[in-house]
Structure 1
Amino acid sequence: MHIDLSGKTAIVTGSTVGIGFASAVGLARAGARVVINGRGSERVEDAVRRALSAAPGADISGSAADLSNAAGVEKLVSAVGETDILVNNVGIFGPKPFYEIDDETWETFFQLNVMSGVRLSRALLPKMTEKGWGRIVFLSSESALNIPADMIHYGFTKTALLSISRGLAKFAAGTGVTVNSVLPGPTRSEGVEDMLEDMAKEEGLSMEEAGIRFVKSERPSSIIQRPAEVEEVANMVVYACSKQASATSGAALRVDGGVVDSIVP
């Protein structure tokens, strides 16, 4: 399958590292004009340089904005203008016992993980529907269905994204705009590697070995028995943004390695 997104503009939020960065590179390689986003200008500029190295000749730019608040979303929208593809990837995670998750932490997770995508979709969807073509993708997680006991606040936000994605797909019915969510499982991103660093050091393991150990102990239902690579998740994101995915909308597309024990997607 040859995916050609020439002439399309894509915004990928939180794309200086990890799945977001891999998705930005994948979209750029498919011909899209890609805008990389992150909070700090230095990190964004560095990510743009790395992305151009990975996709020589591509049209890649950056826009720094903190999407945890309405002002940051407005700043990004003003800087980029109309777009054809929106990948709502930005998010935070981290284990924390339920009794220690205070109101401020709940609100922080909600504003960044959920409301950033809501605000951006609300701002950018009208022009997509006017043009009769657009793609919106929300990065959810297998944790939306398999809520981790040590990250309830995170799982809650990812479940919320499934609801928003499905509802927004119905709202945009018949417009030529598709809305989908992508559900990664454990993925060897920089954030996950940071979380596994102590285990790797304590047990004398490589990061790859630590990742496999984590999956087998914490996600034993995994069929692939290893973390996914960021590019493997990005492949699904790029497909969901493609012209070939025109009949896929309102879907929860799992790239979880089979962690969720269900024969229904």
Structure 2
Amino acid sequence: MNIDLQGKVAIVTGSTQGIGLAIARGLAGSGATVVVNGRKQEAVEAAIAKVRESAPEATVRGVAADLGTADGCQALVDAEPAADILVNNLGIFGPEDFFDVTDEQWQRFFDVNVMSGVRLSRAYLPGMEKNGWGRVIFLSSESGLNIPREMIHYGFTKTANLSVSRGLAKRMAGTGVTVNAVLPGPTMSEGVQGLLEESAEKSGKSLEQAGIDFVKAMRPSSIIQRPAEVDEVANLVVYVASPLSSATTGAALRVDGGVVDSIA
């Protein structure tokens, strides 16, 4: 199976590290022109260099913009007015008790995790429809199905991603444009590593073992019994972004290690 994205322009939001950076690398390695994004110019430039390390022949550009705001989304669209592939990866997370989460925090999570994808999909989908081909992919989470008690505000936004992606798939019916959601489970990104560092230091265990312990304690339904690697998530996203996935749309595709205990 050969994934060939030559001639396609792919925008990956929140792609200076973690799953987003792995997706950018995977798309570039498959021949796409990749646009990376982050809030800070230095981080964007560093990400461009990392993508070029793994795909020296790739065309890679970057746009520094805070996509959690309408102005930031518009800045990205102004810099990159057209795309064939849009990966709405940008997201923030963090455990906090429901009763301690302020209105401002709820709004920030909604703006970053939901409205960034809404605004960019609204901007890029018409061009994809005109061209008769396109891919929009939302990075949701198993937390959108299994709402975590310690991150209700986060789980809510990931459920919203599923609603938007399914509805948009219906809206784009028959156009050659597909819209899907990908649902990672616990994944060993820099953000998750940061959360695990304290427990690893206290226990004297490696980060890898701390990740395994976390999954077994907090996501005991996991079948792989470990966090996924970022490339394992990116591999699915690259396939969904490709012409090979033409009959897959409106789907919630899990790469959660089996955390969601369901046969459907």
Q: After superposition, give the CA deviation of every residue in 1:76-119 in whole Å (9 maximum; x if it has no partner).
A: 01101110000000010000011000100000000000000000
| Residue identity opposite 2:214 in structure 1 | F
Q: Distance in 2 between matches of 1:120 and 1:138?
A: 11
Residue matched to 1:124: 124
Give the superposition deviation at 1:55.
1.2
| Residue identity opposite 1:45 in structure 2 | E
Q: After superposition, give the CA deviation of every residue in 1:211-251 in whole Å (9 maximum; x if it has no partner).
A: 00000110010000000000000001001100000000000
Give the superposition deviation at 1:177.
0.3
Q: Distance in 1 between matches of 2:44 and 2:206?
A: 29
Give the superposition deviation at 1:8.
0.3
Question: Are 1:236 and 2:236 an aligned pair?
Answer: yes
Q: Distance in 2 between matches of 1:208 and 1:54?
A: 24
Residue matched to 1:179: 179
| Residue identity opposite 2:40 in structure 1 | G
Q: Distance in 1 between matches of 2:122 and 2:25?
A: 25
Q: After superposition, give the CA deviation of every residue in 1:122-163 in whole Å (9 maximum; x if it has no partner).
A: 000000000000000000000000000000000000000000
SS at the partner of 1:94?
Answer: coil
Question: Are 1:255 and 2:255 an aligned pair?
Answer: yes
| Residue identity opposite 2:4 in structure 1 | D
Sequence identity (%): 66
Gapped regions of structure 1 (runs ≥ 5): none
Runs of 4+ in 1 over 3 A off after TM superposition: none
The TM-score, its normalising length taken from structure 1, stands at 0.99
Residue matched to 1:61: 61
Residue matched to 2:76: 76
Question: Are 1:154 and 2:154 an aligned pair?
Answer: yes
Q: After superposition, give the CA deviation of every residue in 1:163-221 in whole Å (9 maximum; x if it has no partner).
A: 00000000000000000000000000000000111100000011100000000110010
Give the superposition deviation at 1:54.
1.3
Q: Distance in 2 between matches of 1:204 and 1:62?
A: 39
Question: Are 1:134 and 2:130 an aligned pair?
Answer: no
Within 5 Å, give how 1:7-156 maps onto structure 2. Answer: 7-156=7-156
Q: Distance in 1 between matches of 2:8 and 2:54?
A: 19
When the two chains are superposed, the root-mean-square deviation of aligned CA atoms in Å is 0.4
Q: Distance in 2 between matches of 1:114 and 1:129?
A: 22
Number of corresponding residues: 264
Give the superposition deviation at 1:63.
0.7
The TM-score, its normalising length taken from structure 2, stands at 1.00
Q: Distance in 1 between matches of 2:26 and 2:86?
A: 14
Q: Distance in 1 between matches of 2:223 and 2:246?
A: 29
| Residue identity opposite 2:203 in structure 1 | E
Question: Are 1:170 and 2:203 an aligned pair?
Answer: no
Q: Distance in 1 between matches of 2:102 and 2:81?
A: 36
Q: Distance in 2 between matches of 1:23 and 1:68?
A: 20
SS at the partner of 1:188?
Answer: coil
Residue matched to 1:2: 2
Q: Distance in 1 between matches of 2:132 and 2:188?
A: 36
| Residue identity opposite 2:76 in structure 1 | L
SS at the partner of 2:213?
Answer: helix
| Residue identity opposite 2:56 in structure 1 | P
| Residue identity opposite 1:227 in structure 2 | P
Gapped regions of structure 2 (runs ≥ 5): none
Question: Are 1:188 and 2:188 an aligned pair?
Answer: yes
